[in-house]
Amino acid sequence: MNMPNLHQPLLRPPAQLHVNLRVERWHRRWIYASAAVLLLSGSAWLVARYFLRPAGQFGETVHPLEPWAMKLHGAAAMAMLFFLGSLLNVHVRRAIRAGRNLVSGWAMIAAMAVLTATGFGLYYLAGESDRPLWSALHWVVGLAAGALFVLHVQLGRRRARSADDA
């Protein structure tokens, strides 16, 4: 049985060999849906939290949309973590070996790592004094990740089209 040598550096395929990095349609649709629900539910929470809070008898009160947006956001985060994990072998490993779309790909990995860590921190670690910092970092990176996601997909599609034309 031929075992791979784990101590050898990753070898890139020859330049003329095209490695297909496109994610299958069903997989892509679930990733897009999870990302959209995350972005929309996170944005809904931000709007409800900072712009829609009603004044009650004793000051500001929680807007009814806040807890529902947060619950939906948590569910979508679990789905996204599942699909991100499934991309590691199918897409990420092959892209690294092929040396394609590395800057936006590593930026996506870094953004997802920060969002996972800050989401975990908000839920399990943050106290009342440091919660605003965790929250601000989470939503700033989350909003930026939406734009980064679109950029990563567009760069990958452009690269795939140019490889098909060559």
Query: pLDDT at residue 131 above 90?
Result: yes
User: With contact defined as beta carbons under 8 Å apart, do 60 and 53 qualify?
Assistant: yes
Query: pLDDT at residue 10 above 90?
Result: no
- What is the rounded average pLDDT of the residues 33-61? 92
114-126 confidence digits (pLDDT tens): 999 999 999 999 9
How far apart (Å, rounded) are the C-alpha atoms in residues 115 and 112?
5
Closest CA relative to residue 143, chosen from 122, 114, 120: 114
Place of tokens 């009603």: 54
Residue 147 amino acid letter? A
Residue 12 banded pLDDT, cuts 50, 70, 90 = low
149-161 confidence digits (pLDDT tens): 999 999 988 876 7
Closest CA relative to residue 67, chosen from 48, 39, 40, 43: 48
Q: What are phi and psi of 71, to 5 degrees?
A: -65, -45
- What is the rounded average pLDDT of the residues 6-13? 53
